[in-house]
Structure 1
Amino acid sequence: MKNYEKIAVTPCAGIGQIFGVITREAAYKLVEELYPDNTVLVCLPALATGVQEDIEFINDYPVLVLNGCKDRCATKAVVDKGGKVDFEVYLPDVLREEKLSLAGEKRSRPGERSRKAIDALADKAEKIIEENIKVREKAV
């Protein structure tokens, strides 16, 4: 039975791509700035290599994945380690909904477009976290 006190935020790795930078930065914003008491950060490389703490996070808490591209590596890693994805925010959907383009953005130096994408992705994920906080408060 999952513990609904926190949500395990799992961003994609996106090695070599701007998508990974955006999903990780959105995750940091959620976990470190906005919801430090309601979230834990799952490190995708640690999860993939079997670090026990990250495996416990995906088994103990509802999992919110932030996927950056069609490969959906965060989802695959969670499922591969026996977890279940409870919520997903998919960056291409957010970009389409917000009419944002990442053309010209570089992984090594995220610019204004990337900042807007980070904020939009975090905003979408924030709605999921907020809803779960409300549901949990009603249950207590």
Structure 2
Amino acid sequence: MSKVKVIPCSGIGKVYGLMARETVLQVTDVLSKDTAETVCLAHIVTGDDSAKEKIKGCSCITVDGCPALCSAKSVENAGGIIRAKYRAVDEMRNHRGKNAGTATALTEDGWQIVDEFAGKISAKVTELLEEESRNA
């Protein structure tokens, strides 16, 4: 069984993009390091054969910073099977009034939000793998 691919947007210039990237790194490097991995969105967007091959036909979770859904659209176009879509901007709605930080640095609140967000995505990774195992 292959690892679930968790792919963030690049989100340059806004705190939501930083949150998306840090959330995915928390999932793939800490919480679900044995069951999830990430693929560089820039390589997917530019049509890199190796990146496209890593996601083609695989279960993917996308984490976008904003409503443009760059990650989701790009992964879908490259043949990844999107099993869940998340947006950092939606996650912030659960934390109204909190200051998550800037495009280059998260605040203490921002890191707490990222940790919570990563927990949700890690739980989804586990759920998807259990579902795949039952259907195998």
Please indicate, yes or no, whether the TM-score normalized by the shorter chain is above 0.5. yes
Using the TM superposition, give the Cα deviation of residue 62 of structure 1 relative to its aligned residue in structure 2, in angstroms.
0.4
Letter of the 1:111 partner, please give it. T
**Kept in 1: contact 2:31–2:119 (CA 8 A):** no
The aligned counterpart of 1:40 is 37
Residue deviations 1:5-26 (CA, integer Å, cap 9, x gap): 3111010110111111111111
Q: Aligned partners of 1:100 and 1:89: how far apart in 2? A: 20
Q: How does 1:10-89 map to 2 (within 5 A)?
A: 10-89=7-86
Tell me the amino acid that sits aligned with residue 85 of structure 1. I
Aligned partner letter, 1:110? L
Aligned residue number for residue 124 of structure 1: 120
> Structure 1 53/136 Cα, relative in aligned 2: closer, same or farther at 3 Å?
same
- For 1:60 and 1:39, the matched residues in 2 are separated by 15
Task: Go from structure 1 to structure 2 and tell me whether the alpha carbon gap of 1:137 and 1:100 turns closer, same or farther (over 3 Å shift).
Answer: farther
Q: How far does residue 108 in structure 1 lie from its aligned partner after superposition?
A: 2.1
**Counterpart in 1 of 2:88?**
91
Alpha-carbon spacing, 1:85–1:134, altered in 2? closer, same or farther (3 Å): closer
- TM-score normalised to the size of structure 1? 0.84
Unaligned 5+ residue runs, structure 2? none
Q: Extract structure 1 runs of 4+ deviating beyond 4 A.
A: none
**Identical residues among aligned pairs (%):** 25
